[in-house]
Amino acid sequence: MDRNQATGIILLTLFLMAYFYFFAPEPPVRTPEETVQSQTPESTQSTENTKPLSIADQVEDSLKNILNQQKYGQLAIASKGEEKSFTIENDLISVEISSRGGIVRKVHLKEYEDYRYEPLILLDKESSKMQYLVQTEQGEVDLTELYFSQVIDQSDIADTAVLSFALALDGNNYVKHTYLLPKDSYTLIQRSEIKGMREIIQNNQVAFKWKNDLKRLERELEDSRRNTTINYYTAAGKFDHLKETTLDLQEKSLAEPVTWVSFKQKFFTTGLIANGAFSSPNMSISGVESDTLVEKSASIAFNLPLDYFSSGNDAFTYYFGPNKFKELKKVSEGFHENLYLGWPVIKAINRHLIINVFFFLEKYIASYGLIIIILVIIVKLIISPLSYKSYLSMAKTRVLKPELDEIKEKHGDDMTKIQQEQMKLYQQVGVNPLSGCIPLLLQMPILFAMFQFIPHAVELRHQSFLWAEDLSTFDSILKLPFEIPLYGSHVSLFTLLMTITTVIMTWYNNQTTSMTMQGPMKTMQYTMPIIFMVVLNKFPAGLTFYYFISNVFSIVQQAVIRRFVDDGKIRAILEENKKKNRNKKKSKFQLKIEEALKASEEAKKDTVKKSIPKKGKK
């Protein structure tokens, strides 16, 4: 507002005040009968409703009209009204739409609770602010500040709830939003139509802005913040995101269009999917460590041409729901990426094996602790051939231990000669010393897959088992009066059990192999479980419980396999192989190994020679 406009408004206000003071009509003189009648209870409400406005109220109302006319121009007709909320719901979610702006004001996920075990409100009027900004002769106008009227939609859409709102200047100029919520769905469809309005909206485009303070939903705020970000999917089919593991302000402006963008939290996602694409979106996210009610504050903004709203087709599809793979998969191409499942190989194992088995068991078993136990058994049975092959390889090296010890004793400290003789022995008896490691390496992707799946499985959220109140966060049997760096201020019993069984399994494996670790390597064997105990103490109880059960099953599996492996029979087979391979030529692999060993030994000798000073020189 410039100086001339301000001066005009002040003068007009003074004029109105003078008019109502000097020229306002006198109230009619009542007869005594009328006075008595006006005091009866039946007529009290009516008298109050028809009470004329005071001079001050009339001046204030006139001044508001003038200001609204100045700010909204032809849209001022919708600048006054009463905000009302209307609910559209199904069995999964409840969404409140406000008559002011005709926009989503509140979302309640019916099947879930927040960290206080209260109804989970994904967003509300205080945390979420949407804007539709248009340029008019008066300047920038936010359509969400104007009041819409509910429209009774006569269309009959099976299994779909419908709500419609319109801001109508006349029959040829209006803004209309229609919301459709299908049955058993977390997606809310918004159909928007802007008809006419081209004389009012100058640049023929609408700027959409959405600021969302992502509410705290989980008990472990720090962990939840590390999994909170903005994800997006480009029209070219590329998924990307802003950095998760920081509270610092991150801003990103894209030159390419995106088909969807989402506010992703650890277990829940608020998504906005385009009917086509959003051009050149701007995104930002940041967090305040001292704010214990908000995980991070995020915002998105982009411009849409007026023609985007001209047809009345689906303008947006919202997703308000959990990060369940099968639910996310239904929404849009690439939307399932909101559930992080690890690197490509790990992701493939999770998508095609772990998730399918997990959801199958979920249909028939109510206890998620039991599901984890059965999942361990299934995985162990799948990889049991690899476990058997690994154990058999270790048994062969154990049988060869006397010969290996004899070689070490014969050649003393000559490691090159020792390794050459050991390789020769392995070739004669037909043993590959690496065959015991390969099966173990092949098992690692499944272990990593579980490491990614369980901490992000919303199904485990608020599910108790044994002493663990919530399998999606750590179990605690003891609260410490102090904080231990990395470890925390609590003691997780599942993590302790996992550590103990890992140590037992390490000791047991050492008894079944000829390789006796010495020095730092032996220390490292028993140090690593302690390191994992410290690191995993804050991890979800479901994950440490899985590793604990996996260790127990591995120990039992090794004991069972050992009962079926006869060292005497293995010795006989190795001796037979030794006779067959006595005159066998060395393989190319063995020759290369020997060449590498010789080269290494020569290099050591050269280094020693150079370090010895020549005679006559100090």
My answer on whether 290 and 194 are in the same domain is yes
What proportion of the chain, given as a percentage, has pLDDT over 90? 54
Is the pLDDT score of 23 beyond 70?
no
48 assigned to some structural domain:
no
Least confident of 64-68, 193-197, 205-209, 379-383: 64-68
The upper half-sphere exposure of residue 106, i.e. CA atoms within 13 Å in the direction of its Cβ, equals 18
Q: What is the mean pLDDT of the chain?
A: 84
Instruction: Provide the pLDDT confidence category of residue 38 given band limits of 50, 70 and 90.
Output: very low
Is the pLDDT score of 352 beyond 80?
yes
Least confident of 54-58, 140-144, 193-197: 54-58
pLDDT of the residue at 400: 79
Is the pLDDT score of 128 beyond 70?
yes
264-318 pLDDT, tens per residue? 999 999 999 999 899 999 999 999 999 999 999 999 999 999 888 877 677 899 9
- For helices 493-511 and 541-564, what crossing angle results, to 10°? 20
158-172 pLDDT, tens per residue? 889 999 999 988 878
My answer on whether 328 and 350 are in the same domain is no
pLDDT of the residue at 31: 38
The CATH number of residue 287's host domain is 2.70.98.90
- Of 320, 340, 360, the residue at which a domain comes to its end is 340
520 assigned to some structural domain:
yes
pLDDT of the residue at 586: 60
pLDDT of the residue at 61: 63
547-589 pLDDT, tens per residue? 999 999 999 988 888 888 877 888 887 777 777 766 666 666 5
* Residue 355: domain span: 346-579
pLDDT of the residue at 49: 46
Across 420-429, 434-443, 547-556, the highest mean pLDDT is recorded for: 547-556
My answer on whether 295 and 240 are in the same domain is yes
431 assigned to some structural domain:
yes
Query: Exposed, middle or buried by CB within 10 Å (0-12, 13-18, 19+), for 173?
Result: middle
Is the pLDDT score of 37 beyond 50?
no
Task: For residue 507, give both structure tokens.
Answer: 């000791």
Instruction: Provide the pLDDT confidence category of residue 28 given band limits of 50, 70 and 90.
Output: very low
Task: For residue 481, give both structure tokens.
Answer: 């009066």
262 assigned to some structural domain:
yes
My answer on whether 453 and 390 are in the same domain is yes
Instruction: Provide the pLDDT confidence category of residue 45 given band limits of 50, 70 and 90.
Output: very low
- Of 292, 323, 340, the residue at which a domain comes to its end is 340
My answer on whether 295 and 357 are in the same domain is no
**What single-letter amino acid sits at 559?**
A
DSSP 369-405: HHHHHHHHHHHHHHTHHHHHHHHHHHHHHHHTHHHHH
- What is the torsional sign of CA 406, 410, 414, 416? negative
Residues whose CB is less than 8 angstroms from the CB of residue 547 and which lie 6 or more positions away in sequence, other chains included: 498, 502, 536
My answer on whether 328 and 373 are in the same domain is no
My answer on whether 320 and 291 are in the same domain is yes
My answer on whether 208 and 272 are in the same domain is yes
My answer on whether 529 and 391 are in the same domain is yes
366-387 pLDDT, tens per residue? 999 999 999 999 988 888 888 8
Q: What gap in Å lies between CA 350 and CA 375, rounded to an integer?
A: 12
329-345 pLDDT, tens per residue? 999 999 999 999 999 99
Q: Are 115 and 216 in contact (CB under 8 A)?
A: yes
Q: What gap in Å lies between CA 438 and CA 270, rounded to an integer?
A: 43
Residues whose CB is less than 8 angstroms from the CB of residue 523 and which lie 6 or more positions away in sequence, other chains included: none
71 assigned to some structural domain:
no
Is the pLDDT score of 10 beyond 70?
no
My answer on whether 369 and 331 are in the same domain is no
pLDDT of the residue at 6: 55
Q: What is the helix, strand, coil percentage profile of the chain, to 5?
A: 45, 25, 30
Average pLDDT of the segment spanning 220-241: 96
My answer on whether 156 and 225 are in the same domain is yes
My answer on whether 381 and 515 are in the same domain is yes
202 assigned to some structural domain:
yes
Q: Are 503 and 548 in contact (CB under 8 A)?
A: no
142 assigned to some structural domain:
yes
- Domains held by the chain: number: 2
603 assigned to some structural domain:
no
pTM: 0.82
